[in-house]
Structure 1
Amino acid sequence: MTDAPILDPVHEVTDLENADDFTKKHTPVVTLEPAGDGAVRVTVEVGHLVAHPNLPDHFIQWIALYAGGSEVARFELSAVATAPVVSAVLVVDGGTVLRAVASCNLHGLWAGEAVV
């Protein structure tokens, strides 16, 4: 169960490299690599720069991936047993904005982006 408010705003980070550790551990990092035939492998990791806790009372509940504003994938995670790292292979046009939103059960929603 979440302790974060239901209508919690999404935390947007513009300069992750210079952010504090609290922000670094919550912001999803989106990386891209070619997957052949015009596809791209999108990997989203929460805690890439500073590890996020994965405890029964503090964990990443889910990660959603959006392409051009439409949700294309959602990954439900459980405490302790799953790491907050997910990937999907997408076929999208160059210039498409890929946005990941992650939900921490204590600290709400956090977003990160990459452009294909």
Structure 2
Amino acid sequence: MNYPENLFYTKDHEWISFEQDHALIGITDFAQKELGDIVYVDIPCLNKIIAKEAIFGTVEAVKTVSDLFMPVNGKVIAVNPLLETNPELVNQDPYGCWMIKVLVSLSDDRESLLTAEQYLAQIGSN
């Protein structure tokens, strides 16, 4: 499995990439493999402020639905438009296929985010 070291991770299997004035958020390679074939992504939170650890959407796979949890406090400023017609992109390229773009609040708590090494230790991979 692939876990880029320039990203941060959550215990709930989301990744976050901090850009200049925003962050991109998606799910990890581990999460997409556990879910299986993703058939639908529902993210109804555009232009809403979402609290850290609150649900910002769901991912539906062939046999299950999984909640998506916000890694930091922030306002959702974009939802990846490709996911509406091509949800399978999450399976094909979990780190290239961001789900939401967020303006991160000044009070975000980055200390609880995991490095790639810490995330690998959590999921039991080497």
Give the TM-score of the pair, scaled to structure 1: 0.35
Q: Which has the higher strand share?
A: 1
Give the TM-score of the pair, scaled to structure 2: 0.33
Q: Which has the higher helix share?
A: 2
